[in-house]
Structure 1
């Protein structure tokens, strides 16, 4: 039996999905992304589900972003297909009819930060850190710069993209990236309560509101995905991402030795 990288449970009208690679800080690999795609499709098709909560296993991370041990071997062609996989996943967040609440139980970095921002609302505690540190691994930020600019504006997007710095919870809350700031032991219950509240709203109005938000941002999303193919092909063809990832992984291994 294949490993369950995404756990699903139904609580009332809410489907809670848990990214389940805690030993890797819930970093993305292809099987986990594929399982999340399937889980979101199943939740969308289930008429008994009226809202979704997305969280991470353990108490250290919502998600650490891309698993570098996988992407360090990418070439230009694999980078292009990789962008297609992200487009499929991101469209499920954008085009689904049901509201999604992120329960941020720890760090949300890189593509996990982007997924958190694609959720409608985000519940977090004071120890959460969020950001786009992809530049430190030699990965160009394309979808990240699109979603950050939609929420933060260009100046802050440039800051976070070029420095790769992580925001603490208070700064993220001030920026509007965190919707509700609660005690650490209340993150899951507060997220479920918020999702249940949203589940009680009229479903047609909810669907149409989410549809309109997608329409408002569609042009930027399409541009990001098209540009992402071009940019990631160029980046991975240069060899820089692979070299930077190898360097990072070697440094981390040395620290653990």
Structure 2
């Protein structure tokens, strides 16, 4: 999801929310391979960190519009949904996923952390399951995602469009005002700290991308080579101690 793609998603969502003829908003990917593989890593860093920090706020804007727009949202997950793409899929009210898709938060593998999507994943999934996926970067199947509450249903590819149409028709047939009020109440009782969480996560993502490990990890990924981890913050500091990288990867604690 490049800056241009995020702007397009936000603009299209705002237009759909404002259009009285639109009853349901459906998000999907182009083609059959991917719903969304997440952010454009080649655009993850810039000479203007403040400007980039503001750009990351577009994902927060999108999530807020999805929650507050008053209209049901459906994710037609036609393929892999990773990183920010996984967050977008989970953020929808109903998430219909095709069999065989790869899902998860692999950011840790390139020295990043799925900051912005934490707010939506923790609304839908058990906390420990979310943290385990983020810490390991493990990719999960649609069936496991269904068991964890990340998706609503899993269907064969040949049934995807029919299932999406069925769900959309059911949602669109309901009273729009009751649906809007009901959604507001549903999210209102569980998301009282949603704004604060998104603001903190946006700041956290900017801090993560300021580290040397993040810069090196993304550069190595783009250059198709192994990353050299240094365990250090960038020149501006990230509010954490440098840490030491040794050979021990696991510490076993016994009482």
TM-score past 0.5 threshold: yes
Partner of 2:128: 155
- Root-mean-square deviation (Å): 1.7
Q: Secondary structure of 1:219's partner?
A: coil
Contact 1:68 1:245 in 2 (8 A): yes
Q: Secondary structure of 1:178's partner?
A: coil
| Match status 1:136 vs 2:105 | no
| Match status 1:82 vs 2:82 | no
Question: Deviation at 1:129?
Answer: 1.6
Partner of 2:235: none
In the alignment, structure 2 segments of 5+ residues that lack a partner are 226-255
Residues 1:230 and 1:32: Cα distance change in structure 2 (over 3 Å): closer
Question: Deviation at 1:75?
Answer: 5.3
Deviation string, structure 1 residues 4-63 (Cα, Å, up to 9, x no partner): xxxxxxxxxxxxxxxxxxxxxxxx011111111111111112111111211101111000
Question: Deviation at 1:79?
Answer: 4.0
Question: Deviation at 1:233?
Answer: 2.9
| Match status 1:100 vs 2:73 | yes
Q: Secondary structure of 1:97's partner?
A: coil
Question: Deviation at 1:194?
Answer: 0.6
Contact 2:86 2:104 in 1 (8 A): yes
Partner of 1:91: 64
Aligned length: 225
Question: Deviation at 1:116?
Answer: 0.7
Contact 2:116 2:205 in 1 (8 A): no
Correspondence for 1:116 among 89, 92, 95? 89
Runs of 4+ with deviation above 4 angstroms: none
Instruction: State the alpha-carbon separation in 2 of the partners of residues 78 and 199 from structure 1.
Output: 39
Partner of 1:52: 25
Higher relative contact order (CA 8 A, sep 6+): 1
**Which has a greater percent of strand?**
1
TM-score normalised to structure 2 length: 0.82
- Equivalences for 1:16-31 in 2 at 5 Å? 28-31=1-4
Bigger shift: residues 125-134 or 210-219: 210-219
Contact 1:127 1:168 in 2 (8 A): yes
Instruction: State the alpha-carbon separation in 2 of the partners of residues 95 and 79 from structure 1.
Output: 25
**Which has a greater percent of helix?**
1
Instruction: State the alpha-carbon separation in 2 of the partners of residues 173 and 200 from structure 1.
Output: 26
TM-score normalised to structure 1 length: 0.82
Question: Deviation at 1:221?
Answer: 1.9
Q: Which has the larger radius of gyration?
A: 2
